[in-house]
Structures are given as C-alpha cells and as structure tokens.
Amino acid sequence: MEKFLIVNAKVLPDYFEKILEVRTLLDTNQNLGIKEACTQVGISRSTFYKYKDHIFSLNNNPLGRKAEIHFLLSHKQGVLSNVLNKLSENSCNILAIHQSIPLNNIATLSIQVDISDIVLSIDEIIETLKTIKGVKKVKLISLE
C-alpha cells in the first residue's frame, strides 16, 4: 500500500520543488525536452526520473482537487462499470476516461476524477479499487 504525507517544503531538499518546476515547464512548453527543462531548473535528468512519479503538488485550487488513476483491467463484462460505480460511491466525480482496446485480455484505463468531495483518503479509495474483481493493478499517477 502506498502511503502519502503532506510535508512542508521547507524541510525537503530543494530538488523536490525543482522536479515540480520541470513538470510545469514540460506541460507549458511542448517543444521543450526533459533534458532542457532539467538544465533550466538545475537538476539532473536522473534526479527527475527517480522522483517524477512520486512528488505531487498540493494545490488549493478553488475549482476542485483532481487525481489521475491508472488501471490494468481484465477484459470481462462489468469490470469498468464496477470501477466507475466504486468511484461514484466514494464521491469521486469522473472528469475524463481513456481506455485502450484489450490486448491479451487486459485493457489499460486512465481516469481523471475530481476528489473535492471525498470522505475517505485517496489511499483508502485506491485500496478499495484494488479489491474489485477484474482489477489487476491500480496506481495513483498524480494529484492536484
């Protein structure tokens, strides 16, 4: 089980914030590569790759908090429906869904959800999603 903490950035090494800066540069400038973005903010590419999937910014966005969750699902009737129902039961508002065609009876799924109204923690919701029959893997990709 993954565990998330909220930590004041003042006590963390400065490269954690620089990883977020690199992500912002890449998101805002499609012509910029990872190497160039890392050079601009002053970190190595290896540092970026080591931490990029583990550092998220906690944003006090008045429009709502968002999360992106990736899944590997069995190609069986009702699995996607069960995932969507479980998210709805946990007060997650679906913003976008991207599903691949199944290969070797496994489909990849990416869901972006608004988590402004959730009662459980995102960790608890992820653990609940893992218990759904036909869900092979669940991973929280990003939080806003």
Burial of 6 by CB count in 10 Å (0-12 exposed, 13-18 middle, 19+ buried)? exposed
In the chain, what is the straight-line distance between the N-terminal and C-terminal CA atoms, in Å? Answer: 20
User: Is residue 37 domain-shared with residue 85, that is, in the same domain?
Assistant: no
- Shared domain for 30 and 82, answered yes or no, is no
Say if residues 57 and 22 touch (Cβ distance below 8 Å): no
pLDDT confidence bin for 61, thresholds 50/70/90: very low
Query: What is the tens place of the pLDDT at every residue in 89-100?
Result: 999 999 999 999
Mean pLDDT of all residues belonging to the chain: 89
**Rounded mean pLDDT of 28-38?**
91
The parent domain of residue 118 ranges over 66-143
The stretch 9-23 carries a mean pLDDT of 91
The CATH number for 103's domain is: 3.30.70.260
Q: Are residues 117 and 80 in the same domain?
A: yes
Pair (77, 124) in one structural domain: yes
13-21: average pLDDT: 92
Same structural domain, 22 and 86 = no
User: Pick from 84, 81, 91: which is nearest to 121 by CA?
Assistant: 91
Residue 57 in any domain: the answer is no
Does the global pTM surpass 0.85?
no
Structure tokens at 72: 């590997």
